[in-house]
């Protein structure tokens, strides 16, 4: 109790300045916190965009990614096999062009599948189960995902499974390139599919996402099985994941160089667009940071000056305590406690108000318009910045007083009147 | 019997170069346990400086000050605070009471470093200075004389062997000054404290065991009432010839 009185009491007229310092710090903190939570929101939006865009992924695809098309075997017409478009991406050629980047190889086929008395157009994808899982999202509602050592098994989306009338453990035939049927056993049913860089949806087929212009369903088998169906090892498309985004330009050049003699092979990347987005973000971020920093600096200095007045007025008070035998460290702690209480009272109130009254969404100017409206976010870095401003103001406020107390004889401070 | 306080060839200057002012010039004296020493002299003679040096609130340029055999001129800030807390009670001219604390709490402040605030002892001390019924009053609610009496009680809080009083009656009217001075001398005598008091009060000269008169930073005159006080290490009253300049 007595110690609390020693810390916070005896401010006299300087008590008003302490309150003003607290208010100034509060106002500055509110403004800075407002800027920072918008910045953090923008940073989060960019992280989201990076996660969605995956700018480190380069797609390489051949023009004809439909390997084979058959008319139904039932009916009056004889089965008709359309010409096979030879995919042009040789796995070895791709490997040599990509260096240490990760290759997510794919074979994409389109088949008429007959199951019992039904037939269906389905997309069949030969994938590397491990690599594909790192770029695409498969939500299975039943069964399991593919394994690298799987044989003639398949997972397929729920819509296709229902259309084919198959379920876990059942089989359905797929016509191979040699004209024979291969029975695939269903080991998993997909409830939701997010296939990265999915091919465009060109014909009527079951779909998990209605109205989508991209394929949102299909039968997935291992590359080994799809090569058996396809009769070839060449790829229809592949994703190449660069180690870092900065490697992307070099990787794209390398791929274009490797496939320069193949006019039907296209290399596409999103890094250029993404880097423009980043550039825009950095500009906006800089603007907000400058506003925040300038505000924090000016208000922090003003608050520090007010605190300095408070401390300077208490120099004799602190000297008296030391003269009475209270240890200097304990007196310093008392001084710091006062400053921290003043600073954090304002800062904490302001931060809470900023968080409480922040808008649900904040539409940034055109610089970041392509990110859409961002949601202001309060996180540890904002809290740390606020604490740093308060601490800096207290440190600046108390330093001159404490410096004079330490550097000059205590008798000097005791003989002072006020400052 | 070895002296409690031994000031040996102490020199202290303020300012630098041509503006330097020598506040004390090779001052030496001793005070024994239980002795009442009066320092007198005109303003600027170095009386307060000498008290500040003895209480380790300042450091001399040269010389040593031994209190209970320990040199107090080279203590760190924290050591000096501990020394004052354990061995010295200080009565300031301007009281230096903490305004937000009551009289009782002000007396308790020197006990904070000990970690044990003995309210009974504080009340007893307030009773001894005649303020038993004013313990709950703040300094602003007390007269100057009462504030100084609280300061005396505070100085005695840790039962120090040495009490230093710097013109304790300087801000008081005659009657209050007489009362405070009598109280201080009586209390210190009763408790066996060594009291070094800076005052112009002529009445106390008859009470003090030894009176040192400082002039221009040197001890110009010594008056010993009961031969208890010792003017210097070799009986020299003032700036001794044995001090190396």
In chain B, residues with a C-beta closer than 8 Å to the C-beta of A318 are: none
Closest-CA distance, A313 to chain B, in angstroms, reads: 13
Q: Is B245 a domain residue?
A: no
Q: Do B77 and A9 touch (CB under 8 A)?
A: no
Q: Which residues of B46-70 are buried (b: 16+ CB within 10 A; e: fewer)?
A: bbbbbbbbbbbbbbbebbebbbbee
Residue B141 binned pLDDT confidence (cut-offs 50, 70, 90) = very high
- Report the pLDDT value the prediction gives residue A187, as an integer from 0 to 100: 95
In chain B, residues with a C-beta closer than 8 Å to the C-beta of A406 are: 77
Is the pLDDT at A268 greater than 60? The verdict is yes
Nearest chain B residue to A314, by CA: B98
**Complex ipTM value:** 0.87
Per the CB < 8 A criterion, the answer to whether B43 and B215 are in contact is no
Q: Is B180 a domain residue?
A: yes
Q: Do B84 and A411 touch (CB under 8 A)?
A: no
- Distance, in Å, from the CA atom of A41 to the CA atom of A37, rounded to the nearest integer, reads 6
- Distance, in Å, from the CA atom of A310 to the CA atom of A341, rounded to the nearest integer, reads 13
* pLDDT, mean over chain A: 82
User: For A253, which DSSP code?
Assistant: H
B84, B88, B108: residue with CB nearest A2: B108
Reference A158, options A188, A118, A122; nearest CA is: A188
Q: Do A323 and B117 touch (CB under 8 A)?
A: no
A245-260: average pLDDT: 89
Query: What pLDDT, in 10s, does the model give residues A360-375?
Result: 776 665 555 566 667 7
Is the pLDDT at B240 greater than 80? The verdict is no
A107-122: average pLDDT: 76
Q: Do B100 and A9 touch (CB under 8 A)?
A: yes
A10, A329, A412: residue with CB nearest B78: A329
Per the CB < 8 A criterion, the answer to whether B61 and B23 are in contact is no
In chain A, residues with a C-beta closer than 8 Å to the C-beta of B105 are: 2, 5
Residue A76 binned pLDDT confidence (cut-offs 50, 70, 90) = low
Residue A316 contacts B where some CB pair is shorter than 8 Å: yes
In chain A, residues with a C-beta closer than 8 Å to the C-beta of B23 are: none
Q: How many other CB atoms are found less than 10 A from the CB of residue A404?
A: 17
Beta-strand relationship, B62-67 and B5-14: antiparallel
Q: Is B2 a domain residue?
A: no
Q: Do A2 and B99 touch (CB under 8 A)?
A: no
Rounded to the nearest 5 degrees, what angle is found at the Cα of B46, between the Cα atoms of B41 and B51? 100
Residue A287 binned pLDDT confidence (cut-offs 50, 70, 90) = confident
Determine which of B67, B77, B155 to mutate to test the interface with A (most A C-beta atoms within 10 Å): B77
How many domains in chain B? 1
- Report the pLDDT value the prediction gives residue A399, as an integer from 0 to 100: 92
Q: Is B80 a domain residue?
A: yes
CA-based Rg of chain A, rounded to a whole angstrom?
Answer: 34
Mark out the alpha helices in A190-314 (DSSP H runs): 223-230, 248-258, 271-313
- Distance, in Å, from the CA atom of A185 to the CA atom of A172, rounded to the nearest integer, reads 7
Q: Do B96 and A10 touch (CB under 8 A)?
A: no
Is the pLDDT at A69 greater than 70? The verdict is no
Closest-CA distance, A306 to chain B, in angstroms, reads: 21
Is the pLDDT at A73 greater than 80? The verdict is no
Closest-CA distance, B112 to chain A, in angstroms, reads: 7
Residue A64 binned pLDDT confidence (cut-offs 50, 70, 90) = low
- Distance, in Å, from the CA atom of B169 to the CA atom of B178, rounded to the nearest integer, reads 8
Q: Is B161 a domain residue?
A: yes
Nearest chain A residue to B58, by CA: A409
In chain B, residues with a C-beta closer than 8 Å to the C-beta of A2 are: 101, 105, 108-109, 112, 117
Per the CB < 8 A criterion, the answer to whether B26 and B63 are in contact is yes
Residue B85 contacts A where some CB pair is shorter than 8 Å: yes
What's the Cα-to-Cα distance from A187 to each of A142, A154, A194, A221, B139, rounded to whole Å? 8, 6, 19, 10, 88
Per the CB < 8 A criterion, the answer to whether B233 and B214 are in contact is no
A84-88 long-range CB contacts below 8 Å, 24 or more apart?
Answer: A84/A177, A86/A232, A86/A234, A87/A62, A87/A232, A87/A234, A87/A235, A87/A236, A88/A62, A88/A234, A88/A259, A88/A262, A88/A264, A88/A265
Query: What pLDDT, in 10s, does the model give residues B71-80?
Result: 999 899 899 9
Is the pLDDT at A128 greater than 90? The verdict is yes
For residue B3 the two structure tokens come to 């002296």
Per the CB < 8 A criterion, the answer to whether A237 and A246 are in contact is no
Structural domain including B38 reads 33-59+76-224
Q: Do B98 and A9 touch (CB under 8 A)?
A: yes
Q: Is B14 a domain residue?
A: no
Q: Is B242 a domain residue?
A: no
> Which residue did the predictor score with more confidence, B178 or A59?
A59
Q: Is B229 a domain residue?
A: no
Q: What is the CATH number of the domain that holds B137?
A: 3.40.50.300
A10, A323, A327: residue with CB nearest B113: A327
Residue A3 contacts B where some CB pair is shorter than 8 Å: yes
Query: What pLDDT, in 10s, does the model give residues B14-62?
Result: 888 778 888 899 999 899 988 999 999 888 888 999 999 999 999 999 9
Q: How many other CB atoms are found less than 10 A from the CB of residue B15?
A: 10
Closest-CA distance, B227 to chain A, in angstroms, reads: 32
Residue A418 contacts B where some CB pair is shorter than 8 Å: no
Residue A198 binned pLDDT confidence (cut-offs 50, 70, 90) = confident
Query: For chain B, how long is the longest CA-to-CA vector?
Result: 54
Residue A115 binned pLDDT confidence (cut-offs 50, 70, 90) = low
Query: What pLDDT, in 10s, does the model give residues A167-181?
Result: 999 998 888 877 788
Q: Do A330 and B86 touch (CB under 8 A)?
A: no
- Report the pLDDT value the prediction gives residue A65, as an integer from 0 to 100: 46
Residue A418 binned pLDDT confidence (cut-offs 50, 70, 90) = very low
Angle between helices A328-357 and B77-87 (to 10 degrees): 110
Q: B172 in the Ramachandran plot: left (φ > 0), alpha (ψ -120 to 50) or beta?
A: beta
CA-based Rg of chain B, rounded to a whole angstrom?
Answer: 18
In chain B, residues with a C-beta closer than 8 Å to the C-beta of A416 are: none
What's the Cα-to-Cα distance from A390 to each of A18, A23, A312, A340, B179, rounded to whole Å? 13, 12, 19, 7, 50
Closest-CA distance, A330 to chain B, in angstroms, reads: 9
Nearest chain A residue to B105, by CA: A2
């Amino acid at each position: 109790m007595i110690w609390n009185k020693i810390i916070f009491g005896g401010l006299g007229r300087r008590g008003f300045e302490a309150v003003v310092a607290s208010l100034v710090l509060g106002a500055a903190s509110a403004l800075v916190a407002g800027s920072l939570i918008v910045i953090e929101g923008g940073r989060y939006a960019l992280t989201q965009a990076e996660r969605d865009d995956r700018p480190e992924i380069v797609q390489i695809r051949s023009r004809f990614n439909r390997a084979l098309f058959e008319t139904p075997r039932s009916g009056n017409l004889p089965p008709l096999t359309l010409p096979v478009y030879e995919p042009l991406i040789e796995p070895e050629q791709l490997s040599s062009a990509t260096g240490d980047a990760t290759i997510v190889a794919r074979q994409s086929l389109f088949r008429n599948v007959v199951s019992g008395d039904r037939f269906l157009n389905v997309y069949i994808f030969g994938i590397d189960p491990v690599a594909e899982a790192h770029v695409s999202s498969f939500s299975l509602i039943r069964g399991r995902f593919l394994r690298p050592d799987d044989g003639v098994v398949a997972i397929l989306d729920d819509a296709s499974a229902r259309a084919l009338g198959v379920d876990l453990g059942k089989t359905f035939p797929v016509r191979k390139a040699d004209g024979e049927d291969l029975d695939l056993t269903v080991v998993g049913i997909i409830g939701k599919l997010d296939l990265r860089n999915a091919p465009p949806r060109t014909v009527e087929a079951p779909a998990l996402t209605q109205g989508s212009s991209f394929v949102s369903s299909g039968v997935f088998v291992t590359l080994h099985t799809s090569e058996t169906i396809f009769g070839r090892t060449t790829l229809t498309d592949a994703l190449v994941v660069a180690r870092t985004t900065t490697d992307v330009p070099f990787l794209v050049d390398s791929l274009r160089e490797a496939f320069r003699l193949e006019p039907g092979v296209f290399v596409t990347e999103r890094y250029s667009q993404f880097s423009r987005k980043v550039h825009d973000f950095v500009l906006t971020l800089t603007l907000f940071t400058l506003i925040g920093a300038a505000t924090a600096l000016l208000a922090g200095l003003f608050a520090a000056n007010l605190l300095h007045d408070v401390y300077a007025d208490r120099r004799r008070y602190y000297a008296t305590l030391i003269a009475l035998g209270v240890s200097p460290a304990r007196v310093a702690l008392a001084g710091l406690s006062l400053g921290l209480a003043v600073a954090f009272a304002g800062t904490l109130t302001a931060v809470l108000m900023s968080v409480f009254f922040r808008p649900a969404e904040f539409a940034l100017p055109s610089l970041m318009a392509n990110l859409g409206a961002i949601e202001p976010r309060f996180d540890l870095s904002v809290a740390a910045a606020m604490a740093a401003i308060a601490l800096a103001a207290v440190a600046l406020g108390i330093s001159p007083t404490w410096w004079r107390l330490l550097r000059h004889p205590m008798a000097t401070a005791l003989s002072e009147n006020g400052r | 019997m070895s002296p409690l306080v031994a000031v040996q060839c102490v020199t202290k200057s303020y300012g630098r170069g041509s503006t330097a002012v020598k506040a004390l010039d090779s001052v030496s004296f001793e005070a024994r346990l239980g002795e009442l020493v009066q320092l007198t002299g005109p303003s600027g003679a170095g009386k307060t400086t000498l008290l500040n040096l003895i209480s380790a609130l300042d450091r001399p340029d040269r010389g040593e000050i031994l209190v209970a055999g320990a040199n107090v001129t080279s203590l760190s800030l924290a050591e000096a605070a501990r020394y004052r807390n354990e061995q010295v009670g200080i009565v300031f001219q301007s009281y230096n009471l903490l305004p937000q604390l009551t009289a009782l709490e002000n007396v308790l402040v020197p006990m904070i470093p000990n970690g044990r605030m003995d309210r009974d002892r504080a009340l007893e001390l307030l009773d001894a200075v005649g303020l038993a019924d004013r313990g709950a009053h703040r300094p602003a609610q007390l007269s100057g004389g009462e504030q100084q009496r609280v300061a005396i009680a505070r100085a005695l809080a840790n039962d120090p062997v040495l009490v230093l009083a710097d013109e304790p009656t300087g801000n008081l009217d005659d009657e209050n000054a007489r009362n405070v001075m009598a109280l201080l001398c009586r209390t210190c005598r009763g408790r066996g404290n060594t009291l070094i008091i800076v005052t112009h009060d002529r009445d106390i000269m008859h009470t003090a065991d030894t009176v040192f008169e400082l002039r221009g930073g040197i001890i110009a005159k010594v008056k010993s009432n009961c031969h208890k006080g010792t003017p210097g290490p070799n009986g020299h009253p003032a700036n001794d010839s044995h001090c190396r300049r």
